[in-house]
Copies of this chain bind each other. A is one copy, B any other.
Amino acid sequence: MYISDETLEKFIKEDIPYIDLTSCILDIAGQKGKIRFFCREEAVICGTEEVIRIFGKLGVAPVNWLRSGTKVKPNTVLIEGEGAAEQLHMAWKVSLNILEYASGIATRTSRFLEHARAANPDIQVVTTRKGFPGTKELSIKAVVSGGGFPHRLGLSESALIFPQHLTFIGGMDRMLENMREIKIKACENKVVVEVENMEDAIKACKAGADGVQFDKIKSEKLHEAVILLKEIRENILVLAAGGINISNVEAYAKTGIDAIVTSSVYYGKPVDIGTVMENAGPEA
């Protein structure tokens, strides 16, 4: 995973478009110091590689750091840097925001996954296209750091047939009649159909869809569906999406589906990370 330089530059410029006014009027230049980010809570961290690059751009030397994907206990130091006082202040909030938001997603993903795997060790947690606009690079890195995978990165690379498609092609039955042709066209992809009930799921499965994605189905219903569908075709992919969160994920995981599709890990409270600065005396 490589987060583009343009993205990191944007992160910096959002917080430091021009001068650091406060550092200027206090005249802190000429001092050296350290900056240290520590995690106040249990978390799966993400973003340290990006902070290192931010540090590099701002003239701060990274000292110690943990990789993205590391599980940490409260009060663990995530990354430390050394440099001129005014550079440390420029690096502070942009680094902190990256760490807090990315670790938030990674931690939620990891917890979601833990709950799901507790019920079904083979299940995957995959995330939708519904992240905060403009954050896809960092969000996807965080999902993967937390053990998840992207469900679809966008429209270009996966085949998922929504009811909103059916509107334009004569409905579910009409579409399923063409499933053979659809699968031939998308031979390298799994063709998945979003369904809202068992009947449609069974029809799609029988018509040859590689997978079905249940939207907003109850876990009990889903359990029945999985049994029926896997009987029809053992290797059919069964996904569930819609309203699944950390409180009910185990029930869904137990149904035997292959993956849970969720947007819920993209948003929520950032991880609480503290920042300490230390004076290391005047610059040489």
* Residues of A that sit less than 8 Å from B by CB: 1-2, 4-7, 9-28, 31, 33, 57-58, 85, 89-90, 92-94, 96-98, 100-101, 104, 122, 124, 126, 129-138, 140-141, 144, 149-151, 153-162, 164-165, 167-169, 175, 182, 184-192, 211, 237, 239, 258-259, 267-270, 275-279
Query: A96-B130, A132-B97, A164-B89 are contacts. A158–B21 as well, Cβ < 8 Å?
Result: yes
Query: A15-B154, A89-B155, A184-B122 are contacts. A279–B167 as well, Cβ < 8 Å?
Result: yes
Q: Is the CB of B16 within 8 A of A154?
A: yes
Considering the complex, give the chain B residue whose CB is closest to the CB of A184: B122
Q: Is the CB of A165 within 8 A of B5?
A: no
> What's the dominant secondary structure at chain A's contact region?
mixed
Contact of A2 among B16, B93, B276 (CB under 8 A): B16
Q: Is the CB of B13 within 8 A of A130?
A: no
Q: Is the CB of B57 within 8 A of A149?
A: no
23 A-B pairs within 8 Å (CB atoms) are namely A5-B9, A5-B57, A10-B134, A17-B17, A17-B153, A17-B156, A18-B153, A19-B156, A21-B149, A21-B159, A24-B144, A25-B182, A28-B168, A33-B167, A90-B155, A92-B164, A94-B133, A124-B184, A132-B132, A167-B278, A167-B279, A188-B190, A267-B267
Considering the complex, give the chain B residue whose CB is closest to the CB of A210: B190
Q: Is the CB of A165 within 8 A of B124?
A: no
- Closest CB-CB distance, A259 to chain B, in whole Å? 5
- Closest CB-CB distance, A192 to chain B, in whole Å? 7
Q: Is the CB of A22 within 8 A of B132?
A: no
